[in-house]
Amino acid sequence: MARVTAKNSDIEKAANVLRAGGLVALPTETVYGLGANAEDPAAVARIFQVKERPPSHPLIVHIGGAEHLDDWVQDVPAAARLLAGHFWPGPLTLVLRRGPRVPLEATGGLQTVAVRVPDHPVALALLSAFDGGVTAPSANRFGSVSPTTADHVRAELGDAVDFVLDGGPCEVGVESTIVDATGDAPSILRPGGVTREDLEAVLGCPLAVPSTSRARVPGQHPSHYAPRARVVLVEPEKVVAEAELAQALGHQVGVFLPAAFTDAAVKAHAVVAVPGSMTAYARGLYGFLRELDQRGCDLIIASLPVEEGLGLAIANRLRRAAGPRPTV
């Protein structure tokens, strides 16, 4: 996928907005982020206000390179440096001990901070021009579907964002993998764009993916990444029958049709043929959810992919999308 390269004047404008305490929507390889100066508590507070995000939910600090890691964190273990060396820039976030440069507003009051280096030329150019760290959760309302294009950001947040830096569609399409590197052994707190298998190959040991953890990180709310339509998960072989039953009962049904069943004729309001490639599925996932919302579906029937490689991240997002809706 070809990336859009923003004009130098747009990058400098975005950097100036950050310096002035404003909010910039910026492209990354995963999703679009809602960025603020990581060292400006008032600007960070605006992120929570615009997203309607609980202040206890920590943010990720984006930095321009692994060489800047020690400017933001303390006591970096060897395993974290090894992972950063292999996967940065890239869709990997490391949770480490907070350095004094990071305000507690950005960490949800925790003494740990999540840090990553995005793998997108526009994001890296902005970080270089700004010459600082940028807190940037996904540029959408809290709990809703993450944006993977600049138009998604504009449609959802509108004038609440001071500047939208367009870098084209996101290549990975799901958020970064979050690894807790503060304990005796690293563990995956959120599956994402770097697979567990790739992490284990570098570390030379298995990684746990706990269903709950002592650390608070982005994406842990029971409902997250959710469209307006209710998402129901069923076994792959039951997708067609469940969709047709719900449609017969009066629902406007959207269907995520598994690759093995793409020849099936489904009586439903809207059908999305799920790619057989997990890379393509991850890249398109949030766009598919948005499409079914836009087509007026009130119910989405889907199944989970095999939970290996990027399938683990996709399954995680679908489970959260199907979870109870936030009450905050």
Instruction: Kindly report, residue by residue over 204-259, the tens digit of the pLDDT.
Output: 999 999 865 555 455 555 556 899 999 999 999 999 999 999 999 999 999 999 98
Q: How confident is the model at residue 264 (pLDDT cuts 50, 70, 90)?
A: confident
Structure token pair of residue 1: 């996928």
CA-based nearest residue to 58, from 136, 141, 139: 136
Strand-pairing partners, residue 299, are 230, 253
Sequence-distant (6+) residues with CB within 8 A of 16 are none
Share the mean pLDDT of the chain: 93
The reported pLDDT for the residue numbered 129 is 97
Which pLDDT score, from 0 to 100, does residue 328 have? Answer: 28
Which sign, positive or negative, has the C-alpha torsion 122, 157, 170, 53? positive
pLDDT per residue as tens digits for the range 11-68: 999 999 999 999 999 999 999 999 999 999 999 999 999 999 999 999 999 999 999 9
Query: What's the pLDDT tens digit per position in 106-126?
Result: 999 999 999 999 999 999 999
The answer to whether the beta carbons of residues 28 and 171 sit under 8 Å apart is no
**pLDDT recorded at residue 35:** 98
Please say if the pLDDT value at position 5 is more than 90: no
Residue, of 153 and 3, whose pLDDT is higher: 153
pLDDT at site 6: 79
Q: Compute the chain's Rg from CA coordinates.
A: 19
Residues 320 and 323: their CA atoms lie apart, in Å, by 5
Q: How confident is the model at residue 326 (pLDDT cuts 50, 70, 90)?
A: very low
The answer to whether the CB of 6 falls within 8 A of the CB of 125 is yes
Confidence of residue 327 (pLDDT cuts 50, 70, 90): very low
Contact 174, 285 (CB under 8 A): yes
Helix H, strand E, coil C: the string for the chain is: CCCCCCCHHHHHHHHHHHHCCCCEEECCCCCCEEEEECCCHHHHHHHHHHHCCCCCCCCEEECCCHHHHHHCEECCCHHHHHHHHHHCCCCEEEEEEECCCCCHHHHCCCCEEEEECCCCHHHHHHHHHHCCCEECCECCCCCECCCCCHHHHHHHHHHHCCEECCCCCCCCCCCCEEEECCCCCCEEEECCCCCHHHHHHHHCCCCECCCCCCCCCCCCCCCCCECCCEEEECCHHHHHHHHHHHHHCCCCEEEEECHHHCCCCCCCCEEEECCCCHHHHHHHHHHHHHHHHHCCCCEEEECCCCCCCHHHHHHHHHHHHHCCCCCC
Kindly indicate the confidence band of residue 276, based on its pLDDT and cuts at 50, 70 and 90: very high
As a whole-number percent, the residues of the chain with pLDDT over 70 amount to 93
The residue among 108, 28, 100 whose CA lies nearest residue 63 is: 28
pLDDT tier at 180 (50, 70, 90 boundaries)?
A: very high
Residue 211: predicted pLDDT:
63
Residue 166 predicted with pLDDT over 80: yes
| Model confidence at 325: pLDDT above 60 | no
290, pLDDT greater than 50:
yes
- Per-residue pLDDT tens digits for 292-319: 999 999 999 999 999 999 999 999 999 9
What is the mean predicted confidence (pLDDT) over 129-137? 97
74 has pLDDT over 80: yes
Overall average pLDDT of the 67-76 stretch: 96
